[in-house]
Structure 1
Amino acid sequence: MLAQEEARLLNHNFIGTEHILLGLIHEGEGVAAKALESLGISLDAVRFKVEELIGPAAGPAAGSPPFTPRAKKVLELSLREALQLGHNYIGTEHMLLGLVREGEGVAAQVLTSLGADLSRVRQQVIQILSGYQNRETAGASVGG
Structure 2
Amino acid sequence: MNIKLNEEARKAMTSAHSRAFKMQAEELGAEHILLGVLAHPSAPLVEVFDNMGVKPATLCQEIMSNLPSGSAEGVKKDLPYAKNAKEVFQAAAKVSESAGVAEIGPEHLMLGILNVEKNLAYRILKTVSGDRNGEMKTQLDSYIGKIQKRRAMMRLFNDLASTVIINAREEAEKNNSEHIEPMHILMAIINHPGSVPMAALLRLKVDLKTLKAQVTRAVKEFSGKKEKSEGLSFSDETKKVMDGAVEASESMKHKYIGPEHFLLGIMGVEGSKAAMTLKETGLRDVGDLKEEILMVLAAQR
**TM-score normalized by structure 2?**
0.39
Change (3 A) 1:5 1:129: same
| Aligned with 2:292 (options 83, 108, 124) | 124
Q: How many residues matched?
A: 132
The higher relative CO (CA closer than 8 Å, separation ≥ 6) is in 1
| Aligned with 2:248 (options 52, 61, 81) | 81
2:271 equivalent to 1:104: yes
User: Secondary structure, in 3 states, of the residue corresponding to 2:198?
Assistant: helix
| Deviations 1:32-61 (CA, angstroms, capped at 9, x unpaired) | 12222343443x634532325862523775
C-alpha contact 1:6 1:19 (8 A) present in aligned 2? yes
User: Secondary structure, in 3 states, of the residue corresponding to 1:13?
Assistant: coil
User: Secondary structure, in 3 states, of the residue corresponding to 1:27?
Assistant: coil
C-alpha displacement of 1:110: 1.0
> For residue 18 of structure 1, what is the aligned residue in structure 2?
183
Q: Specify every segment of 5 or more residues in structure 2 that has no aligned partner in the other structure, as ranges.
A: 1-165
Change (3 A) 1:61 1:75: farther
C-alpha contact 1:100 1:122 (8 A) present in aligned 2? no
> For residue 224 of structure 2, what is the aligned residue in structure 1?
58
C-alpha displacement of 1:74: 0.7
Separation in 2, partners of 1:8, 1:14: 9
Separation in 2, partners of 1:60, 1:48: 24
Change (3 A) 1:45 1:61: farther
| Deviations 1:86-142 (CA, angstroms, capped at 9, x unpaired) | 11100111111111122321110111122321334333223322333xxx3xxxxxx
> For residue 70 of structure 1, what is the aligned residue in structure 2?
237
C-alpha contact 2:178 2:225 (8 A) present in aligned 1? no
Separation in 2, partners of 1:54, 1:32: 23
Report which stretch shifted further, 55-64 or 26-35.
55-64
2:170 equivalent to 1:5: yes
Which entry has the higher C-alpha Rg, 1 or 2? 2
Separation in 1, partners of 2:219, 2:170: 19
C-alpha contact 1:10 1:56 (8 A) present in aligned 2? yes
Report which stretch shifted further, 79-88 or 33-42.
33-42
> For residue 193 of structure 2, what is the aligned residue in structure 1?
28
The amino acid that maps onto 2:171 is: E
| Aligned with 1:48 (options 204, 209, 213) | 213
